[in-house]
Amino acid sequence: MAAPRPGKLISWDEAHEKANALISQMSIEQKVGLATGQGWEKTLCVGQTFESKNPDFPSLCLQDGPLGIRWADNVTAGVSGITAAASWDKDLLYKRGEYMGVEYRAKGVHMALGPCVDIMRSPRGGRGWEGFGEDPYLQGVAGSLTVEAIQNQNVIAVPKHYILNNQETNRKNSSSNADHRTLNEVYVWPYARMIEAGLGGVMCSYNQLDGTWACEDEYILNTVLKEQLNFRGLIMTDWGAQMSNEPSANAGLDMTMPGDIVMGDGYSWWGANLTQAVKDGKVSEERVDDMAQRIAAAHYRMGQDKNFPPIAIKSWDRENAPEVIVPTLDKHAKITRDIGAAAVIVLENDGILPLTKDAKKIALIGSDAGPIPQGLNGCPDQSCAAGHLAMGWGSGTADFPYLITPVDGITDRAGDDVEVTTTFDDWDLDTAKQVATEADVAIVFAMADSGEEYIEIDGNVGDRKNMSLWHNGDNLIQAVADANENVIVVINAVGAVLMPWIDHENIKAVVWPGLAGQESGNALADVLFGDVNPSGRLPFTIAKNEEDYGATIGTEFDVEYTEKLEVGYKHFDAHDIEPLFAFGHGLSYSTFEYSKLKVKANSKKGTASARIEVRNTGEIDGAEVAQAYLEFPKDVGAPPKQLRGFEKVLLKAGKKTKVKFEFTTIDLSYFDEDSESWVLAKGEFKVHVGASSRDIRQSATFTL
């Protein structure tokens, strides 16, 4: 059965008017019911609020996650956030969010728990792969497009984890400490952009901030979100992240999930306890009115009161869930393959790619090329960490309807004229060498995995314990490179890895397909064989050494954000450290030339713009990602340069186009801690436009 078509969204003003009319008829108990989850494993969805009768308001269904629907069948297991970001493709980012919204709505899910916009502060952070990388601007663009697309399908998007939840280590027993400028310029930035896009919900995180739990921190909930950013939706807890009754209510929390104090214990901070707190005068009834109104307003704004499908999920009883087949699943699979191919990053290529007809025998070596030994969806929340890696582990996963491995995709594309040989044993280096020696081209696969801290794999408690490849990957690559002169290294990883073999003369290409979901092998084959000209770009920095990064995983209670604004490439720039592969880097089978950079500034409006000409000087059609970085006036104390614009342009061979970047007032501002506000920077700016953060082609100045 197919769900009815989505309806139109209404304005926040209209939505709050409708919500106010509803809650004015409610008892205190009914209003509290909207704000309280029914409890863990007691509902159809991972979280559900209480239903209200007379006046009528439904029990709202909340379900993970950022890449697709968790614990559901007949859904798409798409590319992870980090791989979507690697596409740098605004159109595909929107289409990805759109198909997720279609699927959530069809299953009767009111709130999609995503996207994840946790900044990749450290490459070893366990859930960095769920978000969009190390840069707040890129996170803001990708997050806003995802939110807009999901909500246009009548589903409330709930980005997470707000805020400074950038590691899994001690996530429920640590305090992330950052100054207000760092907090706002780096970590709040994506939320601000999503609020501008009409965001309905925000999920607060497990950690503390300067010793206060995130879900009862009045500064980040009331002051920043609701006052400074005029957020009109609801704030909910992460599952089990509420730590108090009155303090969280008075600090601005609107919904507790899944409702229990400890998940599954049957007790709640809210429910009857919140009702009593109101009666005792510890929480005002106006505050509870505000909670209920925000929740109802998000529901009304997304048009969920008209023809919204019934809940078709049974998280704890999958076999008896109603069968809802989304009629457009084939189209969603194609979008997944398209974005997977657009996100393949060619880090190095010594002319071996695309593969030619000369490659009559191709060896595929490494377990990451093949099937998951435990079977498809054979481990809880994708925690097998064996076979082909197409997503990390944890609550931000979905079940694969199928998985096209690299062996599947490459064998299918190579056709009958090419012999494909394989070995999936990462530890049998003699066999790997033998198979490699006999091939024209040897493609060696390796991976590195991470996820959420409730699952530990080989000592990796969510966060990676180091940056090395898993399953003997470095030794396997070295052995294959010693045995064959035409080696291509393919890495499926959650984030940056160390590459001690990078200078081996026989390694002719390094390819980074990321975590590409169910169509992974097809997307990779599309690029290897030249059916798609690669245009993926790194959404994070790959360093030569782990100590080159500005931040690491904190093991003490206090996690000090001493790097401040210098996250990712900004640290490398500020300290003149040469990365192995720079943020924004990625090669094409074509070449592109930049010229005629022109900038304009409007001091009155506090805006600026830049235009540049990009020409495809290669022999084949391809896409270039033109990136604009701003260098702020010196007295502002900003990092050396900051991403403030990007456009992916598809150009036929020999053709050119003009690319325009618009810099808004917020793009040209910094957060002033004295006034607790954003201030337009005054003085000389420099615009740097190029193909990566370290491949700047043209620069120009303007003054505000």
Distances (CA, A) of 703 to 600, 605, 608, 678, 687: 9, 13, 9, 18, 11
Cβ-Cβ contacts under 8 Å for 575 (sequence gap 6 or more): 550, 566
Distances (CA, A) of 612 to 501, 627, 657, 689: 38, 11, 8, 8
Residue type, 396: G
Residue 257: both structure tokens together: 């999930």
The catalytic position among 64, 135, 238, 260 is 238
Burial code of 465-487, b = ≥16 C-beta within 10 A, e = fewer?
Answer: eebbbbbbbbbbbbbbbbbbebb
Q: Is 238 a catalytic residue?
A: yes
Residue 518, CB half-sphere, CA atoms under 13 Å: how many? Answer: 22
Residue written as token pair 């530990």? 456
Residue 260, CB half-sphere, CA atoms under 13 Å: how many? Answer: 14
Report d(CA 399, CA 382) in Å as an integer: 8
184: left (phi over 0), alpha (psi -120 to 50) or beta: alpha
Report d(CA 334, CA 129) in Å as an integer: 22
The DSSP bridge pattern shows strands 622-631 and 684-692 to be antiparallel
Q: How many CB atoms lie within 10 A of CB 262?
A: 9
Q: Could you give the angle at which helices 28-35 and 272-279 cross, rounded to 10 degrees?
A: 130
Report d(CA 490, CA 536) in Å as an integer: 14
Residue type, 460: N
Question: Which residues carry out catalysis?
Answer: 238
